[in-house]
């Protein structure tokens, strides 16, 4: 059984990561005009990789078997998740992008439970997503919506893989190597999107801040949280992400939301809160 103190620490880690990543996302939008989503993602991941590798100094060889495979997969998933999300963020408001992306954590949470009441949470989430879907009278970009949903699928994979890597390897070495793999995977897209602008000192400084706020800090916090929480419970704790994103988008980016969009975000939040009570604990979390 998990001690209450351990659960409280894990919850604090998750909340800290949520706030950090959304503030970083708001900063990232300031680079889109010069670097595009691809160049911005590359700077974010590259700086995060450098920081994590310097902190943890992991061995270059992870051995063979499932641990090495999971680290490589985690790196590829990190690159794909961030790129698809930034493409979405370039086209739709932050709060809506994160709400759509949240299908990943919500799916992980519901998959951890086997109760009939889960159908209600699925229905609420589906209603919220339907309200956010582009349709008659909607000004949401269809590609932006699609890429946010794709990012959500990768987000779900990220949660599962991070939990596996965190339990198999000590410290943050596995995450550091995975981030390095992600940077290499994002390099071609970054060069194509940013070009020579990637060498601009001012843009590099902003990219460093984004790397810390959006990747190095939150991913490290989540890695530690996932050592203490089942994946399902972690996924539902992330239910605050859309609300935090909408708040950051409104305050920092002046992104207003229509009443229909506010209702949609509320439905997804309600589904997540309900799923928290129904989330199963398939195995005891490590303390």
90: confidence class by pLDDT, cuts 50, 70, 90: very high
At residue 232, the pLDDT reads 64
What's the pTM?
A: 0.83
List C-alpha distances in Å: 143 to 10, 15, 92, 104, 281: 35, 29, 9, 18, 36
Nearest-angstrom CA–CA distance, 199 and 184: 17
Nearest-angstrom CA–CA distance, 47 and 49: 5
Share of the chain above pLDDT 70, in %: 86
List C-alpha distances in Å: 240 to 44, 90, 229, 237, 269: 23, 22, 17, 7, 7
Q: 59-65 long-range contacts, Cβ below 8 Å, gap at least 24?
A: 59/173, 62/169, 62/174, 62/177
Mean of per-residue pLDDT scores for the chain: 83
Kindly tell me the burial class for residue 171, based on how many C-beta atoms sit within 10 Å of its own C-beta (0-12, 13-18, 19 or more): middle
Nearest-angstrom CA–CA distance, 213 and 39: 17
Comparing 10-14, 60-64, 97-101, 199-203, the range with the smallest average pLDDT is: 60-64
Who's near 4: CB < 8 A, 6+ residues apart? none
At residue 177, the pLDDT reads 92
Nearest-angstrom CA–CA distance, 262 and 125: 13
Nearest-angstrom CA–CA distance, 98 and 88: 9
| Mean pLDDT across 129-137 | 69
> Could you report the per-residue pLDDT of 190-225, keeping only the tens digit for each?
999 999 999 999 999 999 999 999 988 998 888 888
State which of 137-151, 171-185, 249-263, 270-284 shows the largest mean pLDDT: 171-185
At residue 283, the pLDDT reads 32
Asked if 44 and 28 touch (Cβ cutoff 8 Å), the reply is yes
């Amino acid at each position: 059984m998990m001690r209450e103190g351990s659960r409280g620490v894990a919850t604090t880690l998750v909340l800290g990561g949520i706030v950090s990543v959304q503030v970083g996302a708001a900063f990232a939008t300031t680079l889109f005009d010069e670097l595009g989503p691809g160049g911005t993602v590359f700077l974010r991941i590259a700086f995060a990789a450098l920081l994590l590798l310097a902190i943890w100094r992991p061995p270059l060889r992870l051995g063979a078997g499932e641990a090495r495979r999971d680290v490589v997969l985690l790196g590829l998933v990190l690159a794909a998740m961030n790129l698809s999300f930034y493409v979405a963020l370039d086209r739709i408001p932050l709060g809506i992008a994160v709400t759509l992306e949240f299908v990943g954590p919500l799916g992980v949470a519901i998959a951890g439970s086997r109760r009939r009441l889960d159908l209600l949470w699925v229905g609420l989430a589906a209603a919220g997503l339907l309200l956010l879907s582009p349709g008659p009278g909607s000004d949401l970009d269809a590609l932006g919506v699609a890429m946010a949903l794709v990012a959500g699928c990768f987000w779900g994979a990220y949660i599962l893989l991070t939990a596996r890597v965190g339990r198999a390897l000590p410290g943050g070495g596995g995450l550091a190597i995975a981030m390095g793999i992600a940077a290499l995977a994002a390099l071609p897209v970054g060069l194509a999107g940013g070009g020579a602008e990637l060498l601009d000192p001012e843009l590099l400084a902003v990219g460093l801040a984004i790397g810390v706020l959006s990747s190095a800090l939150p991913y490290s916090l989540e890695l530690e949280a996932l050592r203490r929480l089942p994946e399902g419970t972690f996924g539902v704790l992330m239910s605050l992400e859309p609300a935090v994103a909408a708040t950051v988008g409104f305050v920092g980016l002046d992104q207003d939301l229509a009443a229909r969009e506010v209702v949609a975000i509320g439905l997804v939040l309600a589904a997540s809160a309900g799923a928290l009570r129904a989330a199963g604990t398939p195995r005891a979390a490590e303390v």
